[in-house]
Homo-oligomer: A and B are copies of this chain.
């Protein structure tokens, strides 16, 4: 039986706790959250107990931690868990500051613990199938990747202000998708961007619409377009052109109903937001984590992946701020 502690009892914490509970041989022991009521409710739902950080790290029976707390706590928690020899499942990003994230990665490596970074898109059935089919050679050599990534609506400006900016907050997932799907690293990054959704976002020093181009070391091309607001919901697609064809990974919809009325032939909007769209992905991700701990699978989204995506986010931020093409190391 692996005993687990979870940090964060919010939306995503609940999802992870629910998935945890379904793993055979795994038990949620501790829930930590500054919001005592939230912590209590989540603990009760899974027969766990509320604790504070120190208690968790002092408990030698804890084999793994799930970090689903606010971004500014990630680095500390990773380092403490690593020091305690606990396996780590941590939501992205490692940290908003690249230096700090690097120190974290070093700590993880020194400790020799597993540390999964929550790039859940890699575990999405559609995205994962596309990747597997590329690997199987179905479209020959990949040449060009187009990623579309749009949220149904912008978060509160208060959130945006502490988010690290759109490139670190939102595109970090797309940068990971880029690296994963093309199996290649960036040579140059160019980011254009605009504030078209809400002027308050510009006042907060951020943008809400971006158009990023990456050229890989092998000369492959990637374009990413994102927006904080798609009126029709959460839009998460990519397409890969290869020498032998194209694979498109599309949105999931709640049902397969098609309505033909006097105006149009219409289908469902895509699943509303990440909790719905990536429900299956979150479940697979957690199953993978424990399969890794059991020695049955090899860790697929490592702390290094977290670093690489963060480096791209930083390069994109620079490109946009300075109006230039940024060359990667």
Contact = CB atoms under 8 A, between A and B. Distances in A.
Interface of A: 125-126, 129-130, 133, 138-141, 143-144, 146, 148, 150, 188, 190, 192-197, 209-211, 213, 215, 219-223, 225, 227, 229-233, 235, 241-270, 323-325
A231 B243 contact: yes
A232 B139 CA distance: 10
A267 B265 contact: yes
Contacts of A196: 141, 143-144, 219-220, 243
A254 B130 CA distance: 12
Contact of A265 (B194, B252, B266): B266
Instruction: Name the residue among A148, A196, A250 with the largest chain B CB count within 10 angstroms.
Output: A196
A184 to B, nearest CB: 12
A329 to B, nearest CB: 17
Given A143-B196, A143-B209, 14 more contacts: A139-B261, A146-B146, A146-B148, A188-B192, A190-B325, A194-B219, A213-B213, A230-B260, A232-B260, A247-B259, A247-B260, A250-B257, A253-B265, A264-B264
Nearest to A215: B192
A257 B325 contact: no
Nearest to A130: B257
Given A125-B255, A143-B209, A261 B241 contact: no
Contact of A261 (B130, B197, B244, B324): B244
A252 B254 CA distance: 10
A245 B259 contact: yes
A244 B257 contact: no
The 4 closest A-B pairs by CB, nearest first: A245-B261, A264-B266, A232-B260, A266-B266
A245 to B, nearest CB: 4
Of the listed residues A133, A219, A254, A258, the one surrounded by the most CB atoms of chain B closer than 10 A to its CB is A258
Contacts of A265: 232, 253, 266-270
Contacts of A221: 192-194, 209-211, 225
B213 A194 contact: no
Given A194-B220, A219-B196, A264 B262 contact: no
Contact of A138 (B219, B233, B261): B261
Nearest to A259: B247
Given A254-B129, A260-B245, A324-B325, A227 B143 contact: yes
Contact of A231 (B210, B245, B269): B245
A227 B262 contact: no
Q: Which residue, A192, A231, A256, has most C-beta atoms of chain B within 10 A?
A: A256
B267 A144 contact: no
A74 B312 CA distance: 46
Contacts of A325: 190, 323-325
A260 B246 contact: yes
A192 B209 contact: no
A250 B261 contact: no
A325 B325 CA distance: 8
Nearest to A267: B265
